[in-house]
Amino acid sequence: SMLTLNNIRQYYVLCEHRKDKYQALCNIYGSITIGQAIIFCQTRRNAKWLTVEMIQDGHQVSLLSGELTVEQRASIIQRFRDGKEKVLITTNVCARGIDVKQVTIVVNFDLPVKQGEEPDYETYLHRIGRTGRFGKKGLAFNMIEVDELPSLMKIQDHFNSSIKQLNAEDMDEIE
Residue 141 is predicted with a pLDDT of: 95
pLDDT at 83 over 50: yes
- 27 pLDDT band, cuts 50/70/90, is confident
- 1 pLDDT band, cuts 50/70/90, is very low
Task: Identify the helix (H) or strand (E) that includes residue 20.
Answer: helix 18-31
Percent of the chain past pLDDT 70, that is, above it, reads 89
pLDDT at 49 over 70: yes
Residue 136 is predicted with a pLDDT of: 78
Residue 117 DSSP label: G
The C-alpha torsion from 113 through 164 and 57 to 101, rounded to 10°, is -80
Q: Where are the domains of the chain?
A: 8-165
Q: What are phi and psi of 162, to 5 degrees?
A: -100, 125
Q: Find the mean pLDDT for residues 73-91.
A: 90
Q: Find the mean pLDDT for residues 125-148.
A: 87
Provide the CATH topology of domain 8-165: Rossmann fold (3.40.50)
What's the full length of the chain, in residues?
A: 175
Q: Find the mean pLDDT for residues 14-30.
A: 89
**What gap in Å lies between CA 34 and CA 74, rounded to an integer?**
23
Residue 95 is predicted with a pLDDT of: 58
pLDDT at 134 over 80: no
Task: Identify the helix (H) or strand (E) that includes residue 149.
Answer: helix 149-159
**What gap in Å lies between CA 51 and CA 61, rounded to an integer?**
7
Average the pLDDT over each of 42-56, 75-89, 93-107, 152-166 and give the range with the smallest value.
93-107
- 102 pLDDT band, cuts 50/70/90, is confident
Q: Which residues of 26-46 are buried (b: 16+ CB within 10 A; e: fewer)?
A: ebbbeeeebebbbbbbbeeeb
- 96 pLDDT band, cuts 50/70/90, is low
- Per the prediction, the chain carries an average pLDDT of 86
The per-residue DSSP string of 66-103 comes to TTS-HHHHHHHHHHHHTTS-SEEEE-GGGTTT---TTE
pTM, entire model:
0.90
Q: At what angle do helices 121-128 and 149-159 cross, to 10 degrees?
A: 80
Pairing state of beta strands 87-90 and 61-64? parallel
pLDDT at 97 over 70: no
Identify the CA nearest to 50 among candidates 88, 86, 16, 14.
88
Burial of 174 (0-12, 13-18, 19+ CB in 10 A): middle
